[in-house]
């Protein structure tokens, strides 16, 4: 497009020169000079002002599926030169589904000015949305010549999964599996038979937690933090691995029209599958937290070949964790996420497992040992299978509510 404009501009200038040579008209000369100088002056202004142009992004931290969320693109020109057009290309990527859209944003900037341009985004699927300014170009008035500049502008927001009731019943009310109690090395609890750690006394601490001998020795009040026994502990694991040959959902979402873009795209079932699994995970976390259950949440990142985990002690922890869970996509994996967890952290320090996956690992019983598990499998079917040690709930992409309702009959 720019090449076509430059060719047309050169042709107009040549015709103007020929016409002026034949007529000698001063009006024609003025028009010819304007046609030559305006683009060049605009290009020069863009080159001089490039270092003093800044782009920033701002947005809410969360949004709902299908609802428009406004991202503010703020353009600042700190130079004394006007800029005919500044164009930024903003990439909008859903880190959970892998879908991406490219949104062009253009604005004219007077000297010493700041202009905000609203960009309305919607996503049909939940996920961590990453908005990144990939390129910024400063154009002359006729958009023939440009000066490119870099920008580090980036903004992330979380499109939350829809929330459903989980119907988990007493899945978290397990009895101890052995006489030897294992304690969490990461989270404090209420069992004073094992010391989690020592710290200075704080107002409100129970007197029975004061370590009197140590306090007297160092002349400072020291408190023992109690440990969390893991005999009854619950692990919620979201396995991001896909069956071999499954799509990755990384197809581009296409360029949006105007200032509105969608962070979703049509392709295979990976996006609705990830969306349904996220809804199931959030529903279970909410119900467990509301029941005052301390539990562990873990997931695997296929691209980085690592596992992450965190402990939920109350409802506020969920909304710190959910952003992490929605930041890596489903992808084909060589081994199950549960096997990867064991390889990273050692044996499972829990008595019951909630396992969210796309396919059941062939060695699940071996990994479980004598633990019980509810396995929620998003594999396109809809059935409930009960065995002595494992309960399987099979559900379809887009069928999170049905899967959670099936838990009510377990």
At 336 the pLDDT is 92
String of b and e for 292-322 (b: at least 16 CB within 10 Å)? ebbbbbbbbbbeeeebbbbbbeeeebbeebb
Are residues 124 and 45 located together in one domain of the fold? yes
What CATH number does residue 104 fall under?
Answer: 2.60.40.10
Supply the pLDDT for residue 237. Answer: 95
Interacting residues of 24 by C-beta distance below 8 A, sequence separation 6+: none
pLDDT of residue 8: 65
pLDDT at 284 over 80: yes
Q: Is residue 177 part of a domain?
A: no
Out of 140-149, 201-210, 261-270, which region has the weakest mean confidence (pLDDT)? 261-270
Residue 64 covered by a domain: yes
Residue 217 CB partners (closer than 8 Å, separation 6+): none
- Segment 371-397 shows an average pLDDT of 90
Overall domain count for the chain = 3
**Number of residues that make up the chain:** 410
Q: Is 405 left (phi over 0), alpha (psi -120 to 50) or beta?
A: alpha
Residue 21 is predicted with a pLDDT of 67
Q: Does residue 393 carry a pLDDT above 90?
A: yes
The enclosing domain of 256 has a CATH number of 3.40.50
Q: Does residue 210 fall inside a structural domain?
A: yes
Contacts of 275 (CB under 8 A, 6+ apart): 65, 96, 97, 125, 126, 127, 161, 397, 398, 400
- pLDDT reading at 20 higher than 70: no
- Sorted by sequence, the CB contacts under 8 Å of residue 220 that are 6+ apart come out as 200
Sign of the C-alpha dihedral computed for residues 115, 252, 396 and 330 taken in this order: negative
Instruction: State the residue for tokens 């992808």.
Output: 331
Q: Do residues 90 and 7 both lie within one domain?
A: yes
Beta bridge partners of 73: 57, 117
In a domain, 272, yes or no: yes
**pTM for this one?**
0.75
Q: Are residues 101 and 123 in the same domain?
A: yes
Same domain, 282 and 251: yes
> Contact 153/145 with Cβ under 8 angstroms?
no
* Residue 218 and residue 248 in one domain: no
Q: What are the residues facing 393 on neighbouring strands?
A: 376, 384
Per the domain annotation, does 170 fall within a domain? no
Kindly state whether residues 213 and 353 are assigned to the same domain: no
Q: Which residue has the higher pLDDT, 136 or 2?
A: 136
Residue 77 sits in the same domain as residue 2: yes
Residue 190 has a pLDDT of 58
Last-in-domain residue among 229, 245, 264: 229
C-alpha radius of gyration, the chain, whole number: 30
State the residue range of the domain holding 76: 1-160
Please indicate whether residue 264 or residue 302 has the higher confidence score (pLDDT).
Answer: 302
In this structure, is residue 171 part of a structural domain? no
Can you tell me the mean pLDDT for 283-295?
A: 87
- pLDDT given at position 177: 40
Which band of pLDDT confidence, cut at 50, 70 and 90, is reported for residue 46?
low
Whole-number Å distance between alpha carbons of 351 and 173: 10
Q: Give the residue with greater pLDDT, 20 vs 134.
A: 134
- 8: which 2 tokens? 């047309």
Are 221 and 101 part of one and the same domain?
Answer: no
Portion of the chain with pLDDT greater than 90, in percent: 36
Q: State which of 229, 256, 288 marks the end of a domain.
A: 229
Per-residue confidence at 212, pLDDT binned at 50, 70, 90? confident
Sheet holding 390-395, edge to edge: 306-312, 295-301, 234-238, 352-357, 372-378, 390-395, 383-386
Same domain, 225 and 324: no
Instruction: Specify whether 260 is located in the same domain as 381.
Output: yes
Q: Is the per-residue pLDDT at 240 higher than 50?
A: yes
Residue 95 lies in a domain: yes
Q: Which residues, in sequence order, are CB contacts of 256 under 8 Å at separation 6+?
A: 101, 102, 103, 262
Same domain, 220 and 238: no
Instruction: Kindly state the average pLDDT of the residues 372-380.
Output: 92
Tell me what pLDDT residue 26 has.
76
Q: Are residues 253 and 359 in the same domain?
A: yes
Segments of 38-177 assigned E as strands: 53-58, 62-64, 69-77, 83-94, 100-109, 113-122, 127-139, 146-149, 154-160
288 belongs to a structural domain:
yes
């Amino acid at each position: 497009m720019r090449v076509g404009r430059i060719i047309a501009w050169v042709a107009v200038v040549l015709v103007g020169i020929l016409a002026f040579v034949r007529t000698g008209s001063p009006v024609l000369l003025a028009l010819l000079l304007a046609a030559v100088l305006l683009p060049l002056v605009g290009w020069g202004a863009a080159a001089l002002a490039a270092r003093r142009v800044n782009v920033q992004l701002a947005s809410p931290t969360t949004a709902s599926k299908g609802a428009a969320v406004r991202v503010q693109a703020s353009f600042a020109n700190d130079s004394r030169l006007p800029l005919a057009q500044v164009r930024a290309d903003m990439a909008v990527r859903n880190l959970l589904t892998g879908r991406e859209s490219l949104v062009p944003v253009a604005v004219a900037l007077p000297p010493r000015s700041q202009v905000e341009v609203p960009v309305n985004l919607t996503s049909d699927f939940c996920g961590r949305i990453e908005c990144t300014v990939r390129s910024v170009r400063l154009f002359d008035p006729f958009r023939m010549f440009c000066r490119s500049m870099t920008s580090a502008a980036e903004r992330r927001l979380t499109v939350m999964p829809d929330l459903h009731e989980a119907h988990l019943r007493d899945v978290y009310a397990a009895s101890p599996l052995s006489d030897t109690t294992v304690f969490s090395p990461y989270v404090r609890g209420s069992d004073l038979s094992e010391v989690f750690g020592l710290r200075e006394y704080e107002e409100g601490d129970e007197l029975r937690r004061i370590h009197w001998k140590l306090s007297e020795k160092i002349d400072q009040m020291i408190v023992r933090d109690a440990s969390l026994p893991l005999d009854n502990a619950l692990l919620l694991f979201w396995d991001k691995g896909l069956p071999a040959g499954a799509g990755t959902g990384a197809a581009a979402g296409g360029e949006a029209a105007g200032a509105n873009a969608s962070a979703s795209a049509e392709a295979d079932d990976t996006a609705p599958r990830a969306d349904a699994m996220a809804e199931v995970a959030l529903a279970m976390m909410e119900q467990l937290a509301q029941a005052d259950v301390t539990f562990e949440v873990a997931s695997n990142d296929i691209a980085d070949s690592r596992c992450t985990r965190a402990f939920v002690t109350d409802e506020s922890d969920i909304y710190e964790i959910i952003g992490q869970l929605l930041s890596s996509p489903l992808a084909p994996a060589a081994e199950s996420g549960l096997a990867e967890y064991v390889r990273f952290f050692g044996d499972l320090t829990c008595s019951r497992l909630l396992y969210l996956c796309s396919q059941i690992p062939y060695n699940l019983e071996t990994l479980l040992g004598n633990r019980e598990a509810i396995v929620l499998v998003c594999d396109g079917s809809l059935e409930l299978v009960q065995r002595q040690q494992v309960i399987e709930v099979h559900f379809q992409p887009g069928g999170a509510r049905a899967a959670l309702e099936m838990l009510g009959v377990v």
